[in-house]
Amino acid sequence: MLDLFPGTQLGIGPALLEDPRYGFFYDLIAPRILSDEDLPVIEKRMREIAKRNLAYRREDITKSEALRIFAEREEPLKCELVEDKGGEVVSVYYIDGSPFIDFCLGPHVPNTNRLKAFKLLTLSGAYWMGDSERTQMQRIYGTAFATQEELDAWVKQREEAERRDHRRLGKELDLFSIQEQYGQGLIFWHPKGGAIRKEMEDYLRGELVRRGYGMVYTPHIAKRELWQVSGHEENYADSMFSPTEIEETEFRLKPMNCPFHIGIYKSAQHSYRDLPLRFAELGTCYRAELSGTLHGLMRTRGFTQDDAHIFCTPETVKGEIMDCVDFAYEVLRTFGFEKFKVELSVKGGDTSKGYLGSDEDWARAESALTDALNERGIPFERMEGEAAFYGPKIDIKVEDAIGRLWQLTTVQFDFNLPERFELEYIGEDNKAHRPVMVHRALFGSVERFFGVLVEHYAGAFPLWLAPVQVAVLPITDRVNDYARTIANELRAAGMRVEANVRSEKIGAKIRDAQLQKIPFMLVLGDREMEEGKVAVRERSRGDIGVMSLAEFREMARRLVESRALVNTDESGV
């Protein structure tokens, strides 16, 4: 960039190992706005520099010398970094034979010839240090691999990911929209997307009731002082919408549901015999995400959490955690996920993140989560310093159909909020005791889970989830009334059906149903009408035979009730 665009100011360029979409980015201020057409030009120059086999050289110099060097180069961003992060001695890196110098901890590869398998990907906007009040910058994303073969495989996966992109499929299949005039990060669920969401929520609510959860509903807004008590004002304010004042009282939109469920708990006195109490809510939350971080359904400003909070005694918390993990695996497998990665996020040695509570409380909480995973025989990776500010957590990531990991389920231990809100239950000794809380979300958020499902299935949902389950396709107008009768009978049986009675050729009708990824098509001609039958066509297998409507209805019923992931029943039909 310094070579192609003199006057470029360099910011920061970290690796993004936690992000499956990108390998790294660099934030900078260029003399002009960059476009996608610039990326191949920049990449070509990178390859030319790499082939020259220039050595990277590190020097340790004084902070004052580093500030002098970057000031002379008119790089104020680097000066700021040196001021903020540098000690008395700082390390800088040169590329011999080029004008490049950077303030960096390192280490680096020894020479540019090591850099062979890389690719620039895309551009976006960014703010310096993530602060919307600071300088607007341009961000260049790229990726790099040890070998060209690995890069080629990743590019192939990325192309497949673009084909499955939920934002594109959401528009093509008429599932949802995001409309600029209403606001970024706000989701409009269309009828077809709403049909899938209803199936998701109906299934989950049924399982919650079966497992002893009580369904609750809470407000979207609360007094600001509530968030001060909970610790969110102190530790989470940047992600909350600004307060609004009503009759000299300040309110905030809720970023999460937990303080509201605590309010339900506190509304009555509880005995140890009442516990555990399990409250569940599909509650809409609001977070003030920066526009540059928004990404379709995956990161929004308004979303619905499938939230639950379990209030229990310290003696029973491990069992509740194990039940939550079991519940999570059952839900994720029901929706078609089979491969998982589990992480245990703990406090670690980082004292800068505003963690609440004593070391003893943290040790007990981490032990409960660890013991639960070990008793279930679930392998996990320990993530130091990644806990929530109020307690450690278990995160379950799913692997989708093309091998990408998505963070969905979380199970969190919380000893802080019961303390801060002074929760109590009366124990066997007839004295007041402090309960503990378990936060858990299985979908994570309905929006994100739905987005992952769209990409996992590439929009071709199994029958039980499909927004339109059956397309009734008459070959000629003479059969239209029969088609309407068939459609009405299937609707009466609880199926989602569309009858295409437009004056089009049957090939066009089948093509349209295929593009809409409808699982079953019933093709009706004069013969089917005379015999009172239907010719059944399945989305991926084509024609599967002629049968009576009762036979088809029974086959579909079995597929839906079993929540089958492929459109084949036990008989193979």
Residues forming the active site: 258, 287, 305, 307, 309, 393, 439
Paired with 440 in beta bridges are 308, 411
Q: Is 287 helix (H, G, I), strand (E, B) or coil?
A: coil
CB atoms within 10 A of CB 442: 25
In this structure, what DSSP letter does residue 518 have?
Answer: -
Query: How far apart (Å, rounded) are the C-alpha atoms in residues 534 and 523?
Result: 6
Nearest Cα neighbor of 125 from 29, 42, 12, 21 is 29
The backbone region for 102, taken as left when phi is positive above 0, alpha when psi lies in -120 to 50, beta otherwise, is: beta
Count CA within 13 A, CB hemisphere, residue 152: 3
SS3 content of the chain, % helix, strand, coil (to 5): 35, 25, 35
In this structure, what DSSP letter does residue 415 have?
Answer: S
447 near 295, Cβ under 8 Å?
A: no
Token duo for residue 37: 């057409």
Nearest Cα neighbor of 406 from 460, 361, 450 is 450
Q: At a CB cut-off of 8 Å and minimum separation 6, what does 267 contact?
A: none
CB atoms within 10 A of CB 217: 9
The backbone region for 328, taken as left when phi is positive above 0, alpha when psi lies in -120 to 50, beta otherwise, is: alpha
Sole residue written with tokens 């220039």: 54
In this structure, what DSSP letter does residue 89 have?
Answer: E
CB atoms within 10 A of CB 251: 17
Query: How far apart (Å, rounded) are the C-alpha atoms in residues 73 and 275?
Result: 66
- What phi and psi, each to the nearest 5 degrees, are found at residue 59? -135, 140
* Strand ranges, E, within 96-191: 101-103, 117-127, 136-145, 176-177, 188-189
Query: How far apart (Å, rounded) are the C-alpha atoms in residues 32 and 15?
Result: 25
Count CA within 13 A, CB hemisphere, residue 161: 16
Burial group, residue 425, by CB count within 10 angstroms (0-12, 13-18, 19+): buried
What is the chain's Cα-based Rg?
Answer: 29
Q: Is 533 helix (H, G, I), strand (E, B) or coil?
A: strand
